[in-house]
Amino acid sequence: MIQGRSFVKKDRHLYNTEGLTYLYWELFDSRRKGEEGSAFRYIEREPVLILDDIIREHQKYRPVIELGYTSKPYADLLGLTSFSAFRVGKGVRLKVLNASKRMFLVENLIIRGVKRIAVSDKYVEFDTDNYLYKPKLYLR
């Protein structure tokens, strides 16, 4: 089971916030021990900046990031394919259990130009890798 990382605004000053207004890079790190700071080094900036922009506009929203950048050993452990958007740092999975919050998130992602979104009862997943896959809305 993947453990989500909650955004805590009061702890923001303890983390790397370079280039971000509200979020911090450690939320998107690979979950393996010893891989702290991997998101800042390897993840694409676009998905993180999109989430940061949503929080800038809706400051009461607090995302729970389940999956951001995944290193090769961690992605293998999760069984992700070799061409997964998480391996190249272009995908983000957010834990969203409330239906109205899922709708809020999907609406804001579409407004910001995201064209690949997957929605489940437990999460919303999106990526900005439009070269590998065609734009689609997936229901899982």
Q: How many CB atoms lie within 10 A of CB 39?
A: 22
DSSP state of 5: E
Please give the average per-residue pLDDT across 4-32, as a whole number: 84
What is the share, in percent, of the chain residues with pLDDT greater than 90? 53
Tell me the C-alpha distance between 37 and 3, whole Å.
17
Residue 32 has pLDDT above 80, yes or no: no
Predicted confidence at residue 116, as pLDDT, reads: 93
The full set of domains in the chain, from first to last, is: 5-139 (3.30.1380)
Phi-psi region of 114 (alpha: psi -120 to 50; beta: other; left: phi over 0): beta
Predicted confidence at residue 119, as pLDDT, reads: 97
pTM of the predicted protein model: 0.89
Predicted confidence at residue 23, as pLDDT, reads: 92
Total count of residues recorded for the chain: 140
pLDDT tens digits for range 47-99: 999 999 999 999 999 999 999 999 888 899 999 998 889 988 999 999 999 99
What is the share, in percent, of the chain residues with pLDDT greater than 70? 99
